[in-house]
Chains A and B, each alone.
Chain A
Amino acid sequence: MKLTIDHLGKQYGRHFWGLRDFDLELGPGVIGLLGPNGAGKSTLMRMLATITRPTEGFIQWNGVDIAGSPNTLRAVLGYLPQDFGVYPNLSAVEFLEYMAAIKGIGARAARRRIDELLQVVNLADAAKRPLGGYSGGMKQRVGIAQALLNDPQLLIVDEPTVGLDPEERVRFRNLLSDLAGERIIILSTHIVSDVEATATEIVVINKGRKIQQAAPEQLLKLLEGQVWQWIVPSPDLPALKQTHIVSSTLRRSEGLLVRVVSESAPAAAAQAVVPNLEDVYLHLVSQNGVGQ
């Protein structure tokens, strides 16, 4: 099971490239795709999901070019788009039965699978109600269920936790971890904690280009000894932001507890702390310039 992306590019209009010179080789596991808004994540997802064709380069699924034969991949693909709709007059069961039919899953197998998935996404109680009355989070969970209907070998989820409440977010992260095994899961998000919890490999993307690909542990090593924490008076924060990457601030009675990425100690009181992925992500993106 191998997904190969080679010199992939997508051009919009005459002058704008949403993605350019993108190379990636993926095997089973959860791949977290991180990047700021407009970095090109959704463009990449849509090309991988055969929704749009690359302007240049190619994508191969087990050696087969998916631009030439998209159905090879579609048969084993589960896709949750960032922005999608449902048919409001169908219930969740009926919608999933419809999706199962157009994915070519037999009626009996589909029925069993749908029951399981509705339990998994915590919609069993609301399964018979029209989707038009669902909240945004519930629709998102229907989307997750449809993506898993065909037991996909390649599961692409684009900003899947948008609209989910904290409990459902945790549930979804756990689900992704449980499903990882003999399948490739691509999780695209700009929420670092989602990736931190599940990804076995992280790809950071900015301005339509890949700027880093590594295991989370390797990424964390990049900033060992470069993350600092200390308390500053609140009025000093704007000046600090001008000179350093501030990855977080917490209010304390003495002032603000700031967390800064810097090669050397930025202040006498600064203490080195263990880096987290948020620090790494901000560092990588800021080195590469802000999003488009």
Chain B
Amino acid sequence: MLDQVFVSLKHWLLGYSPAAIQPAVSILLTILPILLVFPVLFALTTVLERKGLGRIQNRYGPNRVGFYGILQPMADALKSLTKEDIVPASADHTVHFLAPLILLAVAFLPFAVLPIGRNMIAANLDAGVLFFFAIGAISELSVFMAGWSSRNKYSLLGAMRAVAQMISYEVPLLLSSIAVIMAAGSLSTVEIVNKQAGFSGIFPHWYVLTPWGFVGFVLFMIAATAETNRSPFDLPEGESEIIAGYYIEYSGFKFALFFLGEYLGMFAISGLGITLFLGGWGAPLPFLTWVPSWIWFFAKLLGLIIGFIWVRGTLPRLRMDQLMNFAWKFMLPMALVVVVSAGAWRFLPQGVTRWLVSTLLLAVAYGLLARGVESRNKIAKRTYRFAE
């Protein structure tokens, strides 16, 4: 069966290895696909992103290398491999060297707990979601290491911005995940996906199709954008103010490693969003369940990536105070209301009541919070003291 083709392939290959080294081979066969598939996806995403941004900005993207510029990532990789690796003289060499390595290692780890398809998960941990966030916490430290060790004011500023932003947006990210954990009653990613299986009519039982799930998903994706330092939350690398943020002093392949780590982080957090809210590898419609589960996962992943690219092409960058105000004065209270709403959903009897209660709770909270945010930044005609 096509759905289990990779699982069967692994078992078939395992059958040929001697019994003594079978555990090691099994681990290798689980890890290697992750190490291969996601960097390839990264290469494809860079082309897609540059082409997409080009389309949004009314220009051609890369179109010289290969057919429609599809081989551009190869050219980029060759370029960054052959570039000189420059380390500033006053930099802290050890930390400067370690930072991209740690960032990359940490970027690969979260994929261990993401169910890519039915029976396709590297490590089915009892506390999988917690593992994801615990690993994500380490990447903050590696960003700081990169910024600090470069001995550059701009890179230090970028690192401080990045760490402050990541800590602030981790709170709504965690809280909106807690709503799902409450509803599913488990921290295991496999269990959460299983809870979202099945259909009522033509609608799947995804958490995004409940009122709290929808709001939670929107909050989760906004926080995820900030967490991965992508536009419009890309202040840590704001070219116009601090040049490139924490990786100014990295050149050649180390820079490429940072780039790879950033995109892997985006894939991982999108994967978690899919697992928590979009039913993981489940099919969206009942008559489409014959399509292999892993195709659905990657289709949803690609959809979210295209969303990220679209947002990057359309929204201007936020200011630092706007960023922090938005995180603490809107996202955090809203995420708390989502948790309460999910609790109400969990304990009210099935039917119209819980839809009404859950929606009303969120709508009132949204109205009040949006009014509170709006009242602070009054938009008025600018008055000049000397120019008029």
Same complex: no
